Structure 1
Amino acid sequence: MTTHRTYQGQQLELFQARGGDIAARDAQDLMSWPFFSLAKSRRVRPIDFKMGDVAIRVEATAEHGMATIWDADILIWAASQIVEARDKGLRTSRFMSATPYEILTFINRDDSARSYERLKAALDRLQSTTVVTSIRQPSERRRHRFSWIAEWKERLDDRGRPLGIEMILPDWFYAGVLDNALILTIDDAYFDLTGGLERWLYRLVRKHGGRQTWGWSFDLEHLHLKSGSLSPLKHFCYDLRSIVQRQPLPGYHLAIVGDPDGRTRLTFKPLLTDRLAAPLKLKRRKSARL
């Protein structure tokens, strides 16, 4: 296994992922803005988003399609590993190595051959999707361009069986993970959410609602814009109402209310009896070897 890599003139030391119970952490920039496709079908149409001084353009290839919000689970795993190691005084790096088993069990997926193939397809989408953004740039005229994964490769034994995966994360993502103010702990139950819209909504609610007693609210047109969804506003609102009826988001209660000015808003606030109202507990993840 390679222990050092030179990438774009930088000498990177390998960071070996750790197993065991690790709290899931998410990057707030990724929770707030439309960076991923919310559809399970292949998306190649770009996301082109502007709001105030925030500009984001996400581009996909026809071969792989755009990275999805399910693919972003790998980035949550990476952020969780980096923060956990840093907090324990260990050296971290954006050059990471792990077994497929370690990644799959963390994001609550089974260890089947099918899951491994899906993992590799997700890594391909993360590597081939390109992002251009003004977020965290010192000047409004500056833009940072990157892929969610700069490089990745799998290591195989003599029989072609998987030994591990190595990947290099982009500077933009890695710098945000190392900034404590830009990281939030999320509920493990997030990985059980099956719909793209409800996954996106949980991340947005966790970012903006947090643990505030009175929660937060957005009007539906604003939510539609922030989602980057290709779904028409009418269908988007219908899907939101279905989510409100089902109440699937761990730790939060959702409601749709009408404003006096005629606008419709989604409100959300934390459930006081939930884990987010108290110190977060870690869920023991099942482990099984590939």
Structure 2
Amino acid sequence: MVCEISNTVPSEVFGEVRRSPLLPDRHPNPDFFVCDVFDAVPKGDLASMEHPIFSLSTKPDTRLRRYEQGGQFVEVTPSVKGLATVHDRDILIYCISQIIGALNEGRKVDRAVRLKARDLLTATNRMTNGQAYEGLKAALERLRGTTISTNIKTGGTETLDVFGLIERARIVRETRDGRMQDIEIVLSDWVFNAIEAHEVLTLHRDYFRLRKPLERRMYELARKHCGHQSEWSIGLEKLREKCGSNSTLKEFRRLVRNVVEQDQAHSHIPDYSVNLVERSNEVEKVVFVNRQTMDWRNSHMTSDLPPLSGDVHNAARQIAPGWDVHAIEQEWRSWCAGKACTPHNPSQHFLKFCMSWVERRG
């Protein structure tokens, strides 16, 4: 789907007209969210939050991508229509959210997700006009056409396979004016394994109001790596790599600086503030600081558990080599919440949980 441009918002500053950093909330009335759409909290899978699978460009991106880290690789091959974009990812987020909601209610789920097109557009803060439905069709084609080859583990399974982000999409019914109503999407095993293992993270609803693909990608990385910690920093060059940006370092610096300046003026990035630390003769760093706004959206986690330090995460990687320790941490927090357990020594308790995790899964 193409990046959307909304109406500008008037400002009295020097008589100028400024555009809000966030898209307008197009569906503020909960009555629009039928079939528990409003209650399905947005979720993103950890694997695609870690790796730059989706394109930041709103124009067709036909570059072949390959990334390697710690013995794991992911190779992303576009179709002739280009890679799936960050905005196309909204469809996967919606599907993941619906399945997680069903699992939490004890309902049986499978890879096939049946949904209403209008519900999806509404939940992801999109327009519901004819152009939006056409954009949805194009997004499904890009998701189906984007091919991934990877050995990343999801749900305890190491996949050495080639597959699409979705296996199939089918428009079940259209209205007389050509607008789709029912859609059936079959997710890939890779995505579905991550869902079944709860290797997902909750996203702020304002994620769908972020205008720029780069802002969305930066938020995803902060949500994945900073989590509930007080702050997280990353080198500018490394951030460019993780975002999958095709810009030069100089241009990427300018783009990040624009995001930082807007966030400092409007505090519009959800959950985290963002700063660019530029020093001569040192690595430039982007620093994300936790706004402490996530507790109410993570009721499945006990708020009594403090953030874990980087040293604890490093120790966990020694115990569980090849595993995503942040995903294990989410399982640990959920387990503690379910048992109403508040460990006296959370760090030691988490490391023991890692040992048990590895023993159970070999």
Tell me the TM-score normalized by structure 1. 0.84
Distance 2:152 2:180 in 1: 37
Larger mean Cα displacement after TM superposition, 225-234 or 38-47: 225-234
Distance 1:254 1:161 in 2: 40
**Aligned twin of 1:204:** 221
**Would you say 1:227 and 2:243 are equivalent positions?**
yes
Quick check: 2:202–2:298 contact (8 Å CA) kept in 1? no
Deviations along 1:189-232, one digit per CA (max 9) or x if unpaired, are 0001111111100000011111212x111011111111221111
Q: CA deviation at 1:163?
A: 3.2
Quick check: 2:233–2:285 contact (8 Å CA) kept in 1? yes
**Aligned twin of 1:269:** 289
**Would you say 1:146 and 2:163 are equivalent positions?**
yes
Q: Which secondary structure does the structure 1 equivalent of 2:59 belong to?
A: coil
Relative to 1, partners in 2 of residues 1:235 and 1:174: Cα closer, same or farther, differing over 3 Å? same
Deviations along 1:76-131, one digit per CA (max 9) or x if unpaired, are 00110010000100011111111101111111112111111101110000001101
Partner AA of 1:175 in structure 2: N
Q: Which one has the largest radius of gyration?
A: 2
Q: Can you give the 5+ residue segments of structure 2 that lack an aligned partner in the other structure?
A: 1-34, 300-362
Partner AA of 2:221 in structure 1: L
Distance 2:237 2:70 in 1: 16
Partner AA of 1:33 in structure 2: H
Distance 2:157 2:47 in 1: 17
**Aligned twin of 1:58:** 76
Q: CA deviation at 1:281?
A: 8.2
Deviations along 1:39-75, one digit per CA (max 9) or x if unpaired, are 101100111212222211111122x211001000000
Which one of the candidate residues 51, 54, 72 is aligned to 1:36? 54
Quick check: 1:97–1:166 contact (8 Å CA) kept in 2? yes
Deviations along 1:145-196, one digit per CA (max 9) or x if unpaired, are 110111111123584553301111000100001112x111110000011111
Q: CA deviation at 1:18?
A: 5.0
Quick check: 2:173–2:183 contact (8 Å CA) kept in 1? no
Relative to 1, partners in 2 of residues 1:251 and 1:112: Cα closer, same or farther, differing over 3 Å? same
Relative to 1, partners in 2 of residues 1:30 and 1:51: Cα closer, same or farther, differing over 3 Å? same
Sequence identity, in percent?
Answer: 32
Please tell me the root mean square deviation across aligned C-alpha atoms, in Å: 2.2
Distance 2:151 2:298 in 1: 35
Distance 1:43 1:158 in 2: 32
**Aligned twin of 1:249:** 269
**Would you say 1:26 and 2:32 are equivalent positions?**
no
Distance 1:175 1:92 in 2: 12
Partner AA of 2:86 in structure 1: I
**Aligned twin of 1:217:** 233
Partner AA of 1:263 in structure 2: V
More strand by share: 1
Q: CA deviation at 1:260?
A: 8.4
Structure with higher RCO (Cα < 8 A, 6+ apart): 1
Q: Which secondary structure does the structure 2 equivalent of 1:153 belong to?
A: strand
Distance 2:58 2:175 in 1: 35
Partner AA of 2:269 in structure 1: L
Partner AA of 2:201 in structure 1: L
**Would you say 1:113 and 2:139 are equivalent positions?**
no
Q: Can you give the 5+ residue segments of structure 1 that lack an aligned partner in the other structure?
A: 1-16, 283-290
Quick check: 1:49–1:228 contact (8 Å CA) kept in 2? no
Partner AA of 2:119 in structure 1: E
Larger mean Cα displacement after TM superposition, 258-267 or 126-135: 258-267
Distance 2:148 2:49 in 1: 15
Distance 1:176 1:270 in 2: 26
Q: CA deviation at 1:259?
A: 6.3
Quick check: 2:235–2:284 contact (8 Å CA) kept in 1? yes
